[in-house]
Amino acid sequence: MSVSYRQPGVVLTDRRFTVPLDHADPGGETIELYAREAVASDKTDRDLPWLVYLQGGPGFGANRFIGRPAWLGRALKEYRVLLLDQRGTGASTPANRQTLPLRGGPAEQADYLTHFRADSIVRDCETIRPQVTGGAPWAVLGQSFGGFCTVAYLSLAPEGLSTALITGGLPSLDAHADDVYRAAYPRIERKVAAHYARYPQDVERARRIADHLLTHDVVLPNGYRLTVEAFQSLGILLGGSEGSHRLHFLLEDAFVRTPRGHELSDAFQEQAQALLSYAGHPLYALVHEAIYGQDARPTNWSAERVRAEFPRFDAAKALAGDEPLLFTGESVHPWMFDCDPALRPLRETAELLAARTDWTPLYDPARLAANEVPAAAAVYHDDMYVDTAHALTTARTIRGLRTWVTDEFEHDGVRAGGPRVLDRLLALARDEA
**Can you tell me the distance from the alpha carbon of 148 to that of 287, in angstroms, rounded to the nearest whole number?**
14
What pLDDT does residue 134 have?
97
CATH for 90: 3.40.50.1820
Are 59 and 281 contacting, i.e. CB atoms less than 8 angstroms apart? yes
| Structural domain ending residue among the three candidates 307, 336, 354 | 354
**What is the pLDDT confidence band of residue 311, given thresholds at 50, 70 and 90?**
very high
The pLDDT tens digits for 120-154 are 999 999 999 999 999 999 999 999 999 999 999 99
Mean pLDDT for 303-330 is: 96
| Structural domain ending residue among the three candidates 320, 354, 388 | 354
Here the contacts of 335-340 (C-beta below 8 Å, separation 24 or greater) are 335/227, 335/229, 335/230, 335/304, 336/230, 336/233, 336/278, 336/285, 337/285, 338/225, 339/224, 339/225, 339/226, 339/227, 339/230, 339/276, 340/224, 340/276, 340/277, 340/278, 340/279, 340/285
Residues 189 and 319 placed together within one structural domain of the fold: yes
The pLDDT tens digits for 207-244 are 999 999 999 999 999 999 999 999 999 999 999 999 99
Are 334 and 300 contacting, i.e. CB atoms less than 8 angstroms apart? no
Residue 433 confidence (pLDDT) above 90 = no
Residues 217 and 338 placed together within one structural domain of the fold: yes
Domain count, the chain: 2
Residues 153 and 187 placed together within one structural domain of the fold: no
**Can you tell me the distance from the alpha carbon of 374 to that of 145, in angstroms, rounded to the nearest whole number?**
20
Residues 27 and 100 placed together within one structural domain of the fold: yes
pTM for this model (two decimals): 0.97
The pLDDT tens digits for 326-339 are 999 899 999 999 99
Mean pLDDT for 288-314 is: 97
Question: Taking the CA of residue 77 as centre, how many other CA atoms within 13 Å lie in the half-sphere pointing to its CB?
Answer: 10
What pLDDT does residue 418 have?
87
Residues 88 and 232 placed together within one structural domain of the fold: no
The widest CA-to-CA distance across the chain, in whole angstroms, is: 69
Residue 5 confidence (pLDDT) above 70 = yes
Are 325 and 315 contacting, i.e. CB atoms less than 8 angstroms apart? yes
Residues 186 and 260 placed together within one structural domain of the fold: yes
Residues 145 and 265 placed together within one structural domain of the fold: no
* Structural domain for 322, as ranges: 177-354
| Structural domain ending residue among the three candidates 332, 354, 376 | 354
The pLDDT tens digits for 50-88 are 999 999 999 999 999 999 998 999 999 999 999 999 999
**Can you tell me the distance from the alpha carbon of 87 to that of 96, in angstroms, rounded to the nearest whole number?**
12
Residues 349 and 226 placed together within one structural domain of the fold: yes
Phi, psi torsion values for 202, nearest 5 degrees: -75, -15
Residues 283 and 397 placed together within one structural domain of the fold: no
Angle between helices 177-198 and 388-397 (to 10 degrees): 130
**Can you tell me the distance from the alpha carbon of 181 to that of 176, in angstroms, rounded to the nearest whole number?**
9
Dihedral angle sign, alpha carbons of residues 218, 312, 336, 281:
positive
- Mean predicted lDDT score pLDDT of the chain: 97
**Can you tell me the distance from the alpha carbon of 430 to that of 433, in angstroms, rounded to the nearest whole number?**
8
Residues 31 and 123 placed together within one structural domain of the fold: yes
Residue 173 confidence (pLDDT) above 80 = yes
Residues 130 and 85 placed together within one structural domain of the fold: yes
Residues annotated as part of the active site: 144, 358, 411
Residue 181 confidence (pLDDT) above 70 = yes
Instruction: Please work out, in degrees rounded to the nearest 5, the angle formed at the alpha carbon of residue 186 by the alpha carbons of 181 and 192.
Output: 115
- For 166, residues 6+ apart whose C-beta sits below 8 A from its C-beta are 141, 142, 147, 150, 151, 375, 376, 377, 378, 425
Alpha carbon distances (Å) from 105 to 97, 100, 108, 177: 12, 9, 5, 26
**What is the pLDDT confidence band of residue 1, given thresholds at 50, 70 and 90?**
low
Residues 134 and 25 placed together within one structural domain of the fold: yes
Are 384 and 427 contacting, i.e. CB atoms less than 8 angstroms apart? no
What pLDDT does residue 280 have?
96
What is the percent of the chain with per-residue pLDDT over 90, rounded to a whole number?
Answer: 98
